[in-house]
Amino acid sequence: MSASPPNDAVPDARDLARELRHVVNQGASASALDPDEVPGLLALACVAGPAQESGIPAQAQLVIVLKHLLEPEKGSNNTTPSSQQPEVRRALALLLGIADTTKGKDSATRRTRAKNYLHDDLMPPGTFNRRHVQPLLELLADELVEYDSKYRMRDTHDRLAEKLPASPALAVLWLDRFQYYYRIWSDLSGLETDLTVYLRVRHDPQTTPSQLETRRRTALWYLARFFLHLDQFIDQRGGLWLLSDEEQAQRVADAVSLLNFHPPCTEQGRSWLSFAALEQPVPAFHRFTRKLDEDDAGTLILARWRAWLEACQCDNQSPDEDCELHIVLRQCGRYLEIIDREWNRIVEWFTGPPGKSVITAEQVAEMNLRWRIPAVATEDELRPST
Ligand SMILES: [Zn+2]
C-alpha cells in the first residue's frame, strides 16, 4: 500500500530534540519507545511513510533512520552536518544505543561511554548530562529535519512521476529546483554546441580566423554563465543536487565538479568570468567579449582558454580519454541527459487533466522555452556562404 502524500508542515527541531531525550532514557530500540513520548519523531514523513509502506511499527522505522544517520554505510553520499564531524556522530550512536558496544545497555552506561569518548574520565557524569547532552540532541534534531525534508522531496518526485496525488507546495519546490537546473542546462548546452562546432571547423580552410575566434569566445561566454548560475544555485538554494534518487544526484554532482575543475581557470579567473557574465542591465555576449579585451585579467583568461582549446589534438572520431576538452564535452552531455530525463519523468504531472494540474500546459511550454535556451549562434552561421 502506498503511504499518503507527505504534508507541507516542516517539523520543529526543538520539539524533536526534546523527544530525543526519551530515546536517550529508553535506548533506541523499537520495543522500548513509548509512542506517546515521541509523537513528533514518529510523525516524520521519513518515519511514518516507509513504516506504512513496509508494514512495520513506526518505532522500528525511527530506529532505522537514526542508524542510517549515525552509522551511514561506507561510500554512501551522506552529507549531513554531523557527517562532517564523525566524532559527534559516534558519540550520539553511543549515547542512544545505536552503536554495537552500547546497544541494549542502560542509560547511565550509555551516557558514560559517550562522555568518555568525547571528553575524559575526569568529567563528572552530572556535568556531561547538564551541559553536553542537549546540544548533541539538538544537532541530531537538525539533521532529522534536513533528512526528512530530502525524503519528502524525493517522495514527491516519485509521486509526480507516477502521477499520484502530491503536495502542491512540494511540487512547486521541484519546479523551483528545475528552474535552477535548467539555467545551468542552457549554459552547458551552449558550451557543448560551441566546443563541438569549434572542433569540427577549426581545420577547415574555409573557416576564417574571425569566425573561429567568435566561436572560442561564445564557448567561453557559456562557461562564464555556467560559473555564474552555479554560484547562484549555491548561494540561493544551498547547491545540493536533489534528484529522484541518490545515484542520479551523485552523477550530476560529479559532472558539475569535473566541469568546475577541468577548464583552465584559477579561482580569481573563475570569479572574474562569473562577474563578467552577470553584467547589468542585461547579460549580453557583446559586452562580455568587449570586457575580455579591455581588462588585463580578461586578456589573460582568454589567452589561457585559447591554449587550452589548442591543446586538444584529438581525432574527433576517437578522442583521447584524458583530453581536458573532451572531458568537458562528455560531462556536459552527461548533465544534459540526466536533467532532461529527470524533468521528463515529472513534467506530465503538472500538465495533467484540466482542473487537476498545478500549472497550465501553456506555462510548462513557456518554461521549456525559457529554460532550454538554444545556443546563440547556429552552426549555419559558421559555414561559409556559398
Ligand atoms: Zn581532445
DSSP string, 96-133: HT-STTTTT--HHHHHHHHHHHHS-TTS-HHHIIIIIH
Ligand 1 center to residue 185 CA distance, Å? 22
Q: Say yes or no: 279 and 172 in one domain.
A: yes
Work out the percent of the chain whose per-residue pLDDT is above 90. 62
Say whether 7 sits in a helix, a strand or coil: coil
Please check whether residue 1 lies inside any domain of the structure.
no
Please check whether residue 6 lies inside any domain of the structure.
no
pLDDT score of 348: 78
Q: Say yes or no: 223 and 360 in one domain.
A: yes
pLDDT score of 309: 96
CB-proximal residues (5 Å) to ion ligand 1: 312, 314, 319, 323, 325-326
Domain-ending residue, one of 106, 133, 161: 161
Whether 48 shows a pLDDT value over 60: the answer reads yes
Task: Name the residue type at position 339.
Answer: I
Which residues neighbour 351 within 8 Å (Cβ) at sequence distance 6 or greater? Answer: 357, 359, 360, 361, 364
Ligand 1 center to residue 110 CA distance, Å? 58
Domain-ending residue, one of 117, 142, 161: 161
**What average pLDDT score do residues 102-122 get?**
91
Q: Which residue has the higher pLDDT, 163 or 133?
A: 133
Q: Say yes or no: 182 and 320 in one domain.
A: yes
**What average pLDDT score do residues 348-363 get?**
62
Say whether 384 sits in a helix, a strand or coil: coil
Q: How far is 255 from 47, CA to CA, in rounded Å?
A: 32
Range of the domain at 108: 13-161
Q: How far is 20 from 225, CA to CA, in rounded Å?
A: 45
Q: How far is 299 from 294, CA to CA, in rounded Å?
A: 8
The secondary structure of the chain in percent helix, strand, coil, rounded to multiples of 5, reads: 70, 0, 30
Q: State the chain's mean pLDDT as an integer.
A: 86
Q: Is 42 within 8 Å of 125 (Cβ atoms)?
A: no
Q: Which residue has the higher pLDDT, 9 or 158?
A: 158
Q: Say yes or no: 228 and 98 in one domain.
A: no
Work out the percent of the chain whose per-residue pLDDT is above 70. 84
Q: Say yes or no: 173 and 151 in one domain.
A: no
Domain-ending residue, one of 136, 161, 186: 161
Ligand 1 center to residue 205 CA distance, Å? 20
pLDDT digits (tens, 9 = 90+) for 12-39: 999 999 999 999 999 999 999 999 999 9
Q: Say yes or no: 84 and 199 in one domain.
A: no
Which of 68-72, 75-79, 110-114, 200-204 has the least mean pLDDT?
75-79
pLDDT band at 263 (very low <50, low <70, confident <90, very high): confident
Whether 72 shows a pLDDT value over 60: the answer reads yes
What sign does the dihedral 167-338-259-208 (CA atoms) show? Answer: negative
Nearest to 299 by CA among 309, 284, 289: 289
pLDDT digits (tens, 9 = 90+) for 192-235: 999 999 999 999 999 999 999 999 999 999 999 999 999 999 99
**Eight-state DSSP code of residue 48:** H
What sign does the dihedral 132-133-135-140 (CA atoms) show? Answer: positive
Please check whether residue 256 lies inside any domain of the structure.
yes
Ligand 1 center to residue 240 CA distance, Å? 30
Q: Is 155 within 8 Å of 53 (Cβ atoms)?
A: no
pLDDT digits (tens, 9 = 90+) for 139-190: 999 999 999 999 999 999 999 888 888 888 888 889 889 989 999 999 999 9
pLDDT score of 59: 96
Which of 104-118, 333-347, 369-383 has the least mean pLDDT?
369-383
Ligand 1 center to residue 38 CA distance, Å? 58
pLDDT score of 139: 94
Ligand 1 center to residue 199 CA distance, Å? 9
Q: Say yes or no: 203 and 329 in one domain.
A: yes
Q: Say yes or no: 109 and 179 in one domain.
A: no
Q: Is 308 within 8 Å of 325 (Cβ atoms)?
A: yes
Number of domains in the chain: 2
pLDDT score of 8: 64
Q: How far is 112 from 102, CA to CA, in rounded Å?
A: 10
Ligand 1 center to residue 317 CA distance, Å? 10
pLDDT score of 301: 96
Which of 80-94, 333-347, 354-368 has the least mean pLDDT?
354-368
Nearest to 96 by CA among 75, 79, 81, 117: 117
Please check whether residue 5 lies inside any domain of the structure.
no
Ligand 1 center to residue 323 CA distance, Å? 5
Ligand 1 center to residue 219 CA distance, Å? 15
pLDDT score of 346: 87
pLDDT score of 169: 84
Single pTM value for the model: 0.78
Query: In which element (H, E) is residue 341 found?
Result: helix 324-351
Q: Say yes or no: 191 and 118 in one domain.
A: no
Q: How far is 142 from 216, CA to CA, in rounded Å?
A: 47
